[in-house]
Structure 1
Amino acid sequence: MSLLEEHLHFLTTTGWKLVGVTEARQLLEENRSRPVIALSFDDALLDFLNAYDLLRRFGARATLYVPTGAVGRRASRWEPRERSHLGWDELAHLGRAGVEIGSRAVNARAQNGLRVATDEVQASKNELEDRLGLHVESFCYPAGVSSAQMRSAISRAGYASACTTEFRVASSADDVLALPRLRIRPNSTGAGIEEQVQRDRVGFSPPIRRTASSVWHMTCRTASRITHGTPQGYRARRD
């Protein structure tokens, strides 16, 4: 059994509901004590299709963060460090099948936070919505870069949430436009994840522009490596 498969099996059989980021927030606004986990995958790599097969098998959903500048890019055998990305038709199919499509700006590797905030936040949202006919509500910061200026641009663009790559457990005290993530190690077990969730899971009174309650997000960068069980970790976050 692969790492991702083991985690999905354990969490679903112990009563956790696995959904995307926006759906998790909506469910928790209705019932803060509900055992909800929000799954998200970065970069819209072609091998997400492997993970999607597992998600569908376990009745789980997820958010897929798409860097629009890389859509449809295929890596050749002469580019060992490059990865192939999903195309527009594949993204449209996934969106219709219940995968939440979020934005990871235009260039997921961008290091200049100011340029991303001014040039890519709105443009990527517009392109995803125009091409896929979907409403895009969630954003993932390229390279994890977050600043007050970027959060302002994300708010103006109409996003409801945004995720960073800060590695720690989040709470409802965190800004919903700067959600941290908790790293899950390759040797993590499903039981170990649940133990950590239950240990840190507390009730909060949600202020304005904060998350509704305790919710975990598992973020997988390299879906095929996880699916096939090679030593590649993934991260989780709770807001």
Structure 2
Amino acid sequence: MAKTIKWWIERNYKTKKSLTDEIRNLINQIDDDCFITEEKDIELLTWVLSHHHDYLNKINGSTNFKIRVRRSLVNSGNKELLILRDDGTEIDISWTKALNPQGSSTHKEDLRNAAVQAVNDQIIEFKDKNTDTICCLCKKQIEDKIEACHYEPRLNELLTQFFGNDEEMEKIDIKDGSYASRYFNPELSEKWATFHANQATLKPAHKKCIRQRKSN
């Protein structure tokens, strides 16, 4: 399938966000470790996933694969998709990556992913110890799950301070892991974790507020 930057307009989605929101709502309605069963939902997700840069390798010739939803192993607040192939094997596939130009993430996105995973222990510790239930962004009560927000400086600012500008970031080696996982070498990971512990200011926030802040 030919890939275009705005391929979602094929089905009258005016923006990438409108399609993203529909998929996220669809997936969130499915219980953990359950398969997508509605034909219209299967068709929609298959269309989206077909734009993933590694789609053919992911399905491995399967013509009747199933799509399963599970809780993210990287961020328990998110859900992720797995493909159950015709031969019984299963493999993860990123629907968010499929929405990117050329169906893949950029090096900077991979670096950000690796950076967050390298300090995941700090984020978990913050959530466990936090007692404040007011969102730092909208200033309203958080009734559901609290997320950790890099308030000031923002995460992107911390990344620039530590790793340098975009050109310097491109030189950093990032290794692939399992679903959505990226890793630095141990020495760099340790240095970044120390820097983050000293410089980051984490505050409680709604997940939707953090997402809106990223898009602004």
TM-score norm. by structure 2 comes to 0.25
| Bigger Rg, structure 1 or 2 | 2
Relative to its length, the structure with more strand (as a share) is 1
The structure showing larger relative contact order (alpha-carbon pairs under 8 Å, at least 6 residues apart) is 1
